[in-house]
Structure 1
Amino acid sequence: MSGPAQPSAAPPVVDRDRFDAALAAQIEAEKEVTRHDDRVSASRRRLPMVEVQDYVFTGPDGPVRLTDLFGDQHVLLIQNVMFGPDWDAGCPSCTWAVDNLPANMSRLTDEGIAFAMVSQAPIDKLEDWRTRRGWDHRWVSSFDTSYHHDWGWTATDAEGREGQQPGYSYYLLKDGPPYLTYMTKARGTEAILPVPHIMDRTVYGRRQDWEDSPDGWPQEPTYG
């Protein structure tokens, strides 16, 4: 499958010394980003946690409690996949995010982290979409629960219209109950998506219209 056509715009050509100097300055700036990220991660580890009810979701074989999703692990990552009850397909962006997951998910379980996906659509729709996408991740439906509304994954605007949010929830199983230790939405989801970070380091970036790029760089509407 071929990608976008090659743009005519390109960076200026310089000699090796000028390139090395420019690259060194860029790497130094990136080191500060890494150090700041370490500080943010340290504060994240110091967040308090809140107890969450043991929701009873629906899986392909029947009821599945939130605590069941931990399996043999004590830490659980849930991907909240946008899939409204009246939709016939999963959100394109969320589908793309699931496709970004590690090819070998046992790398997570090796570190004591269970993984599951939750959506508001009925389980039969989720199973149909899973089959079409070729996924084998554990995926349950919150259709018969208040989970999506309780935690803002589905919200109602001033006109009474419901809208969904993508994101990730991180849980800890401690002395019986499950606790929420962290959650993130919107661009916070990018932290665990490798493709955007790979694109950010290419000469043309993500090619999206919100990016600060040189004149002539290819850009397309983010949600075209």
Structure 2
Amino acid sequence: MADQDTAQTVDRTRAPEAAPPVVGRAEFDTALAEQVALEKEVTRHDDRVSAARRRLPMVQVEDYVFAGRCGPVRLVELFGDRYLLLVQNVMFDPGWEQGCPSCTWAVDNLPANMGRLADEGISFAMVSQAPIEKLQAWAKERGWDHRWVSSYKTSYHYDWGWTRTDDSGREGQLPGYSYYLLRHGVPYLTYMTTARGTEAILPVAHIMDRTCYGRQQDWEDSPTGWPQEPTYG
């Protein structure tokens, strides 16, 4: 995933010196056809993975009471009048004054028209561990109007591994997404993902992947001379 601060420091207005080799149309069409064949393999494999995901079991989740903009908000209330719910876990430690840059970038990747999710029967909300006052301040600065609740006075982040303690006793958070189903008034977790699993719904990352230079990050396998910057500056 791209890091917001890094993206702001790299000059994207100047074209790199390195570039793909120039070939004739026939050679390009052949190379492109080979690439498309590889991508079709990925698509078919992704279909198999999605089929397996739809066959996962589910686990009942406590009806946590979060802090919202206008007061307490139960987990079941985040569904609204729908039975499916996507929750983005935005890294925001209680001691921070701003949200995680990478998570902020991910929120900025959300659809411009979130009503498209609602059209499909899916409600959306964000949750963070920082107090609600800090979340509201950051949302105002970023211009977000998404529903965002705080788990500050609950055990939610610890119960589900979004905040973990390492061997030295230091706490750290994870970004990710939780998918819930409301059945007979009871919330169930059906799927969750973190780390690079979050990239599945980040359109900017996929757009960058399909340019000739990719994401221009140092973990990528790119030709010699391709521009690359640290993923997290």
Could you tell me which amino acid in structure 2 is paired with residue 169 of structure 1? S
Higher relative contact order (CA 8 A, sep 6+): 2
Matched residue, 1:60: 69
Partners in 2 of 1:201 and 1:81 — Cα distance? Answer: 27
Deviations 1:99-119 (A, max 9, x none): 000000000000000000000
TM-score by length of structure 2 reads 0.95
Determine which of 161, 173, 177 is the counterpart of 2:170.
161
Is 1:213 the counterpart of 2:228? The answer is no
Deviations 1:57-76 (A, max 9, x none): 00011100000000001000
Matched residue, 2:146: 137
Matched residue, 1:188: 197
Could you tell me which amino acid in structure 1 is paired with residue 178 of structure 2? S
Q: CA RMSD in A?
A: 1.0
Structure 1: tracts of 5 or more residues without a match: none
Partners in 2 of 1:60 and 1:209 — Cα distance? Answer: 40
> Helix, strand or coil for the counterpart of 2:172?
strand
Could you tell me which amino acid in structure 2 is paired with residue 100 of structure 1? N
Structure 2: tracts of 5 or more residues without a match: 1-7
Partners in 1 of 2:122 and 2:229 — Cα distance? Answer: 37
- Paired residues for 1:15-30 under 5 Å: 15-30=24-39
Deviation for aligned residue 1:4: 4.4
Deviation for aligned residue 1:3: 2.5
Is 1:75 the counterpart of 2:51? The answer is no
Partners in 2 of 1:144 and 1:172 — Cα distance? Answer: 24
TM-score by length of structure 1 reads 0.99
Matched residue, 1:7: 16
Is 1:175 the counterpart of 2:184? The answer is yes
Q: Percent identity?
A: 75
Partners in 1 of 2:99 and 2:13 — Cα distance? Answer: 25
Is 1:108 the counterpart of 2:117? The answer is yes
- Aligned positions, number: 224
Matched residue, 1:147: 156
Partners in 2 of 1:104 and 1:211 — Cα distance? Answer: 31
Deviation for aligned residue 1:5: 2.1
